[in-house]
Chains A and B, each alone.
Chain A
């Protein structure tokens, strides 16, 4: 699995802890990393993902539906799930202020079934911590 993940584009290093079942991935500086590809790579190696947390920097944008998205690169954004932290991010929507957040991008819904990872549907980020506003 470590080799499988290490081969994905934008991955700098992979650290696997067998004891607590944790996998840490450090992306390359200014490299584009696709969480969907990482999820797929893990499932392809015969292991299932229970949770995926990310720390990302970007800008908050509001979309037509009134929901917020986090733009992490010109072609990569995550829909933000509504919670107490998303309310805190609302005033930053469409402003030049950047934010650094930690959040849950994926959680296994039950069963061993491989998740549907439709590239046209943005992954939803459940913000767990707002680390920095700048």
Chain B
């Protein structure tokens, strides 16, 4: 049980930085749109 929890915690630690780092939103102001 402890081993499984430790493994889960390790996996979360390894995945978290990748899943958190990203572009969340983009906004553009454009010209010449009709």
Which residue numbers of A lie inside 8 Å of B, CB to CB?
1, 16, 18, 21-27, 30-33, 35, 38, 42, 46-59, 71-74, 96, 98, 100, 108
Q: List 29 A-B contacts (CB under 8 A).
A: A18-B33, A18-B34, A21-B31, A23-B28, A25-B25, A25-B27, A25-B28, A26-B25, A32-B22, A33-B26, A35-B26, A46-B32, A47-B31, A47-B33, A49-B29, A50-B30, A51-B28, A51-B29, A52-B26, A52-B28, A55-B25, A55-B26, A56-B22, A57-B20, A73-B21, A96-B17, A98-B17, A98-B21, A100-B24
Main secondary structure of the interface of A (DSSP, over half): strand
Q: Identify which of B21, B25, B27, B33 contacts A72 (C-beta below 8 A).
A: B21
Q: Identify which of B23, B27, B32 contacts A23 (C-beta below 8 A).
A: B27
For the complex, what is the distance from the CA of A74 to the CA of B19, rounded to whole Å? 11
Contact assessment for A24 and B26 in the assembled complex, using a CB-CB cutoff below 8 Å: yes
For the complex, what is the distance from the CA of A51 to the CA of B19, rounded to whole Å? 27
CB-nearest residue of chain B to A10: B23
